[in-house]
Amino acid sequence: MTDPISPELLNNWNTYGGYLAMAVAGVGVLILLGHYLKLLATGDYKTRYDYINMHEINMLWNGALLIIIGGTLYFNTMFGESTWLWFFVRLFMSSMFAVILGVIIQNVLKFYYPFFIEKRLKKLRFTPRTSPDGRKMKLLSEEEEDVYLDEGMQAEEDAFSVDYDVWIDEESGFTKIEKYNGRLHALQCNNCNYQTLKVEREDVIQTATETEEGELMKYYACGYCGHKERKSFKIARLKAGEAAQ
């Protein structure tokens, strides 16, 4: 194990290992670059919202992971004469450093980055839309938007599973309805203050009728500290005739 590595073998490793390292890191850079180019090329706010919400953290993690792996490989191609012992010691130490760096990045993306994403998503969601005629559109209130939602859409909103935004061009009457997942985002945990509190399940405590409001209970659990809590929400009374359907 203490024998020196033959110069030819070490030279081959340094050459081809360097190529491999650059290829792996290059793929990581391309993933990150492609992600941000996709954002720049996406003009529609809702489409950009959905893309960030569904893919950004995974894209950042995959890109960073490949860059870390590529950097680790490249570091181990930078040395000249060496013994097998020091080669594997160096490989082990650099791998441990890569693991530590990966864990740090993963935790930042999991526990801190969602705060930043949430601010961007709110800005995208509530930035005024533009009608085909180039006019700024108005976002309707919860009461105003019911006129433009069918019964199924209203039922989804009442169950808090989906949230609809209705934008209208008040001059032409053009409307745009955007659908958002009502239980997709994590909330800030009151115990650890991380934005990792998510809905585990929902129970209808009391069904809504034409004369009385219903009650929905949401059960939350924090993905970081394990804190649990529950919140009660009112379900709007049914409109005349809906109970029989």
| pLDDT above 50 (res 245) | no
More reliable by pLDDT, 130 or 215: 130
More reliable by pLDDT, 81 or 14: 14
Question: Which amino acid is it at 125?
Answer: R
Radius of gyration of the chain (CA): 27
Residue 46: closest CA among 137, 113, 115, 114: 137
What does the pLDDT read at residue 244?
45
Q: In degrees to the nearest 10, what's the CA dihedral of 11, 15, 16, 21?
A: 130
More reliable by pLDDT, 90 or 42: 42
Query: Residue 195's CB: how many other CB atoms inside 10 A?
Result: 23
Q: If pLDDT is split at 50, 70 and 90, which confidence band does 168 have? A: very high
| pLDDT above 80 (res 241) | no
Its pTM stands at 0.72
pLDDT digits (tens, 9 = 90+) for 187-218: 778 888 876 787 888 788 888 777 888 888 88
Mean per-residue pLDDT, 98-118: 92
Mean per-residue pLDDT, 63-67: 97
Alpha-carbon distance of 199 to 221, in angstroms, equals 7
pLDDT digits (tens, 9 = 90+) for 10-59: 778 888 888 999 999 999 999 999 999 999 999 999 999 999 999 999 99
Mean of pLDDT over the chain? 85
| Residue 196, token pair as written in the block | 């990792």
Alpha helical stretches, state H, 42-83: 45-75
67 touches 25 (CB < 8 A): yes
What does the pLDDT read at residue 184?
52
Return the beta strands (E) in 73-170 as ranges.
138-139, 162-168
CATH class of 185-245: mainly beta
Residues 6+ apart with CB under 8 A from 26: 70
Residues of each domain in the chain carrying CATH 2.20.25 = 185-245
* Lookup result for tokens 């809504």: 208
